[in-house]
């Protein structure tokens, strides 16, 4: 399963990438706004840290504007993936980019039918938002399973990029259900290392070693 980090924070990206298992980065307009940086400048900086897919989201809401913006973003680096909203205009833009071999990530996906539309239009990734469905009382992980079944039924190459992940249980469940990729906030990635028995076991090893040196 690919791990992407879901942030625009360069320090978080550098730290997580140093751990060895992060494969790429996703951003969105809210995450970019938090940095106070220009989107193109930020994506360029990220491309100099991470050698992997970097999702950059268009701001335009019309297909013509999305295409113009996306083609500009694609010039930043070969690893840039154009993030498009799950709308009619987003689908027109998705079809345009998939026809030109430019990678896309269709975002704000909340239903299996939306994911199916994106796959039919050749999206490289679809981003179902698990946490936001949980937030409104649904079981977001069920959507990942539905999309997995549909994509397997028809051999779609579109990758399921599970997004809006809130805790380590989400990561395990994504892997169990068969998401291709998980995009994960820094704090959640950091939490994946932790288990109390690992810490207590290591502390005991060190204590026993220290005793044996006396
Ligand atoms: O960046 C896309 C998605 O991961 C956003 O998640 O936490 O804003 O629901 P969140």
Question: If you measure from the C-alpha of residue 19 to the centroid of ligand 1, how many angstroms do you get, rounded to a whole number?
Answer: 22
Going by CA atoms, what residue is nearest to atom 10 of ligand 1?
A: 164
SS3 category, 51: coil
**pLDDT tens, per residue, the chain with 214 residues:** 999 999 999 999 999 999 999 999 999 999 999 999 999 999 999 999 999 999 999 999 999 999 999 999 999 999 999 999 999 999 999 999 999 999 999 999 999 999 999 999 999 999 999 999 999 999 999 999 999 999 999 999 999 999 999 999 999 999 999 999 999 999 999 999 999 999 999 999 999 999 999 9
Question: If you measure from the C-alpha of residue 207 to the centroid of ligand 1, how many angstroms do you get, rounded to a whole number?
Answer: 42
SS3 category, 111: coil
SS3 category, 108: strand
Q: Which residues contact 205 (CB under 8 A, 6 or more apart)?
A: none
Strands 125-128 and 24-26: unpaired
Distances (CA, A) of 155 to 6, 119, 145, 147, 158: 27, 10, 15, 12, 9
**Cβ 130 under 6 angstroms from ligand 1:** no
**Catalytic one of 83, 88, 103, 199:** 83
Angle, CA 170 vertex, CA 21 and CA 196 arms, to 5°: 75
Question: If you measure from the C-alpha of residue 9 to the centroid of ligand 1, how many angstroms do you get, rounded to a whole number?
Answer: 14
**Cβ 181 under 6 angstroms from ligand 1:** no
Pocket test of ligand 1: the residue of 5, 6, 108 to mutate, having most ligand atoms within 8 Å of its CB, is 6
In the chain, what's the furthest Cα-to-Cα distance? Answer: 74
Query: Is 159 designated active site?
Result: no
Name the token pair of 135.
């937030």
pLDDT at residue 33 in the model: 98
Looking from the CA of 188 toward its CB, the CA atoms found within 13 Å total: 21
pLDDT at residue 136 in the model: 98
Pocket test of ligand 1: the residue of 3, 27, 28, 166 to mutate, having most ligand atoms within 8 Å of its CB, is 28
CA 102 to chain centre: 17
How far apart (Å, rounded) are the C-alpha atoms in residues 58 and 4? Answer: 19
């Amino acid at each position: 399963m690919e791990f992407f980090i879901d942030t625009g924070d360069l320090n978080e990206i550098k730290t997580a990438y140093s751990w060895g298992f992060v494969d790429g980065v996703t951003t969105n307009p809210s995450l970019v706004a938090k940095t106070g940086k220009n989107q193109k400048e930020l994506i360029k900086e990220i491309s100099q840290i991470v050698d992997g897919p970097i999702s950059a989201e268009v701001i335009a809401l019309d297909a013509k504007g999305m295409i113009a913006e996306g083609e500009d973003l694609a010039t930043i680096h070969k690893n840039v993936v154009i993030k498009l909203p799950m709308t009619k205009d987003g689908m027109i833009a998705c079809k345009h980019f998939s026809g030109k071999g430019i990678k896309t990530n269709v975002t704000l996906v909340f239903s299996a039918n939306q994911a199916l539309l994106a796959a039919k239009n050749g999206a490289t990734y679809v981003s179902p938002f698990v946490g936001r469905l949980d937030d409104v009382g649904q079981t977001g992980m069920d959507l990942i399973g539905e999309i997995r079944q549909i994509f397997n039924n028809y051999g779609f190459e579109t990758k399921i990029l599970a997004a809006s992940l809130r805790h380590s249980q989400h990561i395990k469940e994504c892997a169990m259900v068969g998401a291709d990729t998980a995009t994960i906030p820094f704090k959640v990635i950091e939490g994946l290392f932790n288990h109390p028995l690992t810490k207590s076991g290591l502390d005991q090893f060190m204590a026993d070693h220290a005793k044996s040196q006396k």
